[in-house]
Each structure stands twice: as C-alpha cells, then as structure tokens.
Amino acid sequence: MTKTPAGDTNSAVAQTFNELPLSETTLEALERARYLSPTPIQAGLIPRALEGVDVMGQAQTGTGKTASFVIPILERIPAKSSHKRPLALILVPTRELAVQVRDEAVKLAHGRRARCVALYGGKPIRGQIDKLSRGAELVVGTPGRLLDHISRGTLHLGDLQVVVLDEADRMLDIGFRPDIEKILRRVPRERQTLLLSATMPPPVKRLAQRYMHSPESLDFSPKDIAVETIEQFYFTVDPEQKLDLLTKLLAREQPQQAIVFCRTKRGTERLYRQLRKKEKHVECMHGDLTQSARDRTMQRFRKGQVRLLVATDVVGRGIDVTGISHIINYDIPEFCDDYVHRVGRTGRMGREGVAYTFVTPDEGIQLTRIEMRINRLLERAHLEGFGATQDAEKSDAAAGTNGDGPSADGASDGEPKSAAKPASPLAKRRKSRYRRAL
C-alpha cells in the first residue's frame, strides 16, 4: 500500500475546479452549488479516483469528502444512460448519512441523467423497490437494508463499477463487518473501491487489504484532529447539577443552534423532556424514534427551526448543518472517536464553533483519553454558582493529576495546546497515566 500525505498526490494541487479534469456538466453543477474551489480532499482524491485507482482516504466529515467521491462517480455515468442496474454503490453506517449523501449526489448530478436512490431501514421497502425497478445509476445505503434488497432480488450488483465505503471505521464499530463482507463478495471483482475513514485502525486496513486492489493511501486528516477553529472547554460538575449547569450555560452562550449529546436513548429522552419545559425550539433524536420522526427533526434542524437538538451519537457522524454554533457533551462520550465526531458537527467549513464537555468527578480518565486522542488539552471553563474548586479536586484526583490543569479562569494560556509543541509536565503526566490506564 502506498501512503501519501494530502497535498503530495500531485505536485500542483488544484486551486480551482477548472484545473481538474472535469466535464462541463460537472463544472456547471459545481458552480450552481456555489462550490468555488476544491477542498483539500477534493483536490487530492478526485484526480486519483478519475484515474480508476483504489484509494483509501483518511478524512473527517465536514471536509467536503462526499463530493470527492461522488464527482468521479458521476463522471463515469454516460450522458444518455439507459442503465437499469446501479453502476456505483456507496455504503454508509447510518440512515441520516444515507440521506445526506444522496442529497449531495442529487445536487451535483444537476444537468445529467443520473438517478440516485437511498436505501435504508426504518422506511417501507416498497417505495425503494419501485424506485430501483425504474432504474438507478447510483445507490447509497446502509448495509442491513442493502442485504435485504439483495436477498429479495430487487438490487443487482453485477454491473457495479465503483464501490465506496464511507465512514468505514464507524461501520466496523457498529458491527457491520459481516454485512459489508457479504455485500463485497457479491460485487464484480473488476471494480474500483474507494474507502473513506476518519481513523485507520487495523480492522479497517484488513478490510482494505482483502477487498481492494493495491490501494493508494491518502491522508487528508488535519494534523490536529480537533479542528483548529473549534474552541473546546470542559466543566467539572456533579451529576445532579448537570441540568442546572446546562440551563445556565445556554443562557450565557445563547447558541444559534446547538446539539446536546447524551450517552443513552433514555437519558436523551429524559433531558429532552426537562429541557423543553425551560427552552424553546427543542427536539430530540435517538435510535428509538421512527425514521420519519428522525427525518422530520433533521429537516427542521437544517432549516434552523430547531435550536437545541438533544441527541445520542446517532447524529455524531456525518451530519452537516452549518448553523451549529455549539456542541455540548452533557454526557462525556464513551469512546474518544465519538468525541471527535461530535465536536466536528460545529466549526463546519472553517466557521467558528465551541464545544463544552461536562465531566463528573469520576470521569477524569475519560477526559484524559480524549485529550490524548486529540493531542490537545481542553480548557477548563467556569460558571459562577458551581463548586468548581471542589469539583476540580475531585476530577483531578480521579484523573490522577495534582490539580494543576488549566485553571478555572481560563489562565491556561501558558499551556501548550498541542503535544506537537514541547509537552508540558501535565501533558507528559497525562500521557503516562493514559498508558497505564490501557
């Protein structure tokens, strides 16, 4: 596998879409979408994908990665396609992402006859079968529903030219591996495979090795995983004070739009019920809601009609809503990657964003792990009326520090934000503690 950092793929990285070998139709669609210049992943991935090579790209959402694989697919679809069976298949982990990728493909397919269908669970299968029977060049779907269609004989993969595995790490995380393998075994060997993943753990690499032809590995992940433009803070708080803290924080911050992340579906429901008594335009989102309720909420959130979305990690990945000014981790995420994905919902396309994480006294170690993962110390935030000093001691004790973290009044300026700079004693201590914790 060849590994190339982003930007090194071609000596001259395209600054405009005109510099990429794209058709007039695509250039017009891009102009119509008001995409003025390619993002780094688009400049890097599009030319390689157009050449037909298999690519394994490390990239986060919010970087324009969807267009980077959708555009080369669209360029393959003949102008007067009379094809009934899909030429391209995009596998995604969640229903929301399936809808989002489909919408992006429809937008970029403007001016050409390319029919794109999204196949995902929670929706009656009948309508999807009807659409497939009318013909679809591009199919995007979640693995379970795709397999359902395959076994019913309503989805035929024999003509596929391109397969995309989007958010491959997430698909493996949530146990889609057997389904993905079943699907990949059914697609023609002679095809192009593009794999996109925020992280490249060994299971993702193994998947790539088994199902890709000499993949080229491109790294589009920012050096500092937590996007530069996002300010990240944490509060130490006792569990019974969380709601109070949230209410005061919302009153102080007046977010344009915020996602308040909880760990469980029940916790999400509970907080939603409490919060809607105090705040306007609150809705919630979790896996127990019907798909149509989820779709409605997402639509209203995108339009800015929902200001506060209380959610589980079901919206942690891939969801792109530009109005999100704040991320609040009401419950600290269990997995570090979920932190990266949650926080990545704000600060989209270079905008500014802020993330607050509530840390209870016995969650210090989770905070430390997150800081190790993002290579940066979160800054301690403070709100009057909360027993910060006492909490700090408890939290630091739980994390095993001596309480010398960034101070409550934000006087952490002296601390290096990234371990790329000389590591502070604190960062070093956190690192060794982290290793022990593993």
Q: Does 47 bind ligand AMP (CB under 6 A)?
A: no
CA-to-CA distance for 73 and 56, rounded, in angstroms? 16
Specify the residue, 60 or 268, whose C-beta has the smaller distance to ligand AMP.
60
DSSP per residue, 141-159: E-HHHHHHHHHHT----TT
Specify the residue, 29 or 262, whose C-beta has the smaller distance to ligand AMP.
29
Piece of the chain touching ligand AMP by CB under 6 A; list 38-46, 185-193, 256-264, 389-397: 38-46
Tell me, residue by residue from 270 to 309, as one string, x for binding to ligand AMP by CB under 6 A and - for no binding.
----------------------------------------
Q: Does 62 bind ligand AMP (CB under 6 A)?
A: yes
Q: Does 234 bind ligand AMP (CB under 6 A)?
A: no
- The secondary element (H helix, E strand) that includes residue 296 is helix 291-302
Q: What minimum distance in Å lies between the beta carbon of 309 and ligand AMP? A: 17
In our burial notation (b when 16+ CB lie closer than 10 A, e otherwise), range 79-117 reads eeeebeebbbbbbbbbbbbbbbbbebbebbbbbbebbbb
CB 333, CB 342: distance < 8 Å:
yes
Residue among 378, 430, 424, 375 nearest 399 (CA): 430
Specify the residue, 68 or 401, whose C-beta has the smaller distance to ligand AMP.
68
CA-to-CA distance for 259 and 323, rounded, in angstroms? 11
Using a 10 angstrom Cβ sphere, with 0-12 exposed, 13-18 middle and 19 or more buried, the burial of residue 205 is: middle
In our burial notation (b when 16+ CB lie closer than 10 A, e otherwise), range 31-67 reads eeeebeebbbbbbbbbbbbeeebbbbbbbbbbbbbbb
Q: Does 26 bind ligand AMP (CB under 6 A)?
A: no
Q: Does 417 bind ligand AMP (CB under 6 A)?
A: no
Using a 10 angstrom Cβ sphere, with 0-12 exposed, 13-18 middle and 19 or more buried, the burial of residue 420 is: exposed
CB 138, CB 88: distance < 8 Å:
yes
Q: Does 58 bind ligand AMP (CB under 6 A)?
A: no
CA-to-CA distance for 433 and 172, rounded, in angstroms? 28
Q: Does 61 bind ligand AMP (CB under 6 A)?
A: yes
Specify the residue, 67 or 246, whose C-beta has the smaller distance to ligand AMP.
67
SS (H, E, C) 24-84: HHHHHHHHHCCCCCCCHHHHHHHHHHHCCCCEEEECCCCCCHHHHHHHHHHHHCCCCCCCC
Q: Does 39 bind ligand AMP (CB under 6 A)?
A: yes
Q: Does 349 bind ligand AMP (CB under 6 A)?
A: yes
Interacting residue with ligand AMP among 43, 48, 49, 66 (CB under 6 A): 66
Specify the residue, 73 or 157, whose C-beta has the smaller distance to ligand AMP.
73
Q: Does 67 bind ligand AMP (CB under 6 A)?
A: yes
Interacting residue with ligand AMP among 22, 35, 330, 417 (CB under 6 A): 35
Specify the residue, 318 or 333, whose C-beta has the smaller distance to ligand AMP.
318
Residue among 63, 95, 64, 92 nearest 315 (CA): 95
CA-to-CA distance for 93 and 287, rounded, in angstroms? 13
Q: Does 63 bind ligand AMP (CB under 6 A)?
A: yes
Specify the residue, 39 or 94, whose C-beta has the smaller distance to ligand AMP.
39
Q: What minimum distance in Å lies between the beta carbon of 226 and ligand AMP? A: 16
| Positions 304 through 333 that interact with ligand AMP (CB under 6 A) | 320
How many binding residues for ligand AMP (CB under 6 A)? Answer: 14
Q: Does 38 bind ligand AMP (CB under 6 A)?
A: yes
Q: Does 15 bind ligand AMP (CB under 6 A)?
A: no
Q: Does 94 bind ligand AMP (CB under 6 A)?
A: no
Specify the residue, 71 or 408, whose C-beta has the smaller distance to ligand AMP.
71
Q: What minimum distance in Å lies between the beta carbon of 30 and ligand AMP? A: 7
Question: What is the CB neighbour count within 10 angstroms for residue 308?
Answer: 25
Specify the residue, 50 or 397, whose C-beta has the smaller distance to ligand AMP.
50
Q: What minimum distance in Å lies between the beta carbon of 63 and ligand AMP? A: 5
Piece of the chain touching ligand AMP by CB under 6 A; list 59-67, 149-157, 201-209, 213-221: 59-67
In our burial notation (b when 16+ CB lie closer than 10 A, e otherwise), range 232-252 reads bbbbbbeeebbbebbeebbee
Q: Does 103 bind ligand AMP (CB under 6 A)?
A: no
Q: Looking at the chain, how many residues does it have? A: 438
Q: What is the contact surface with ligand AMP in residues (CB under 6 A)?
A: 35, 38-39, 42, 61-67, 104, 320, 349
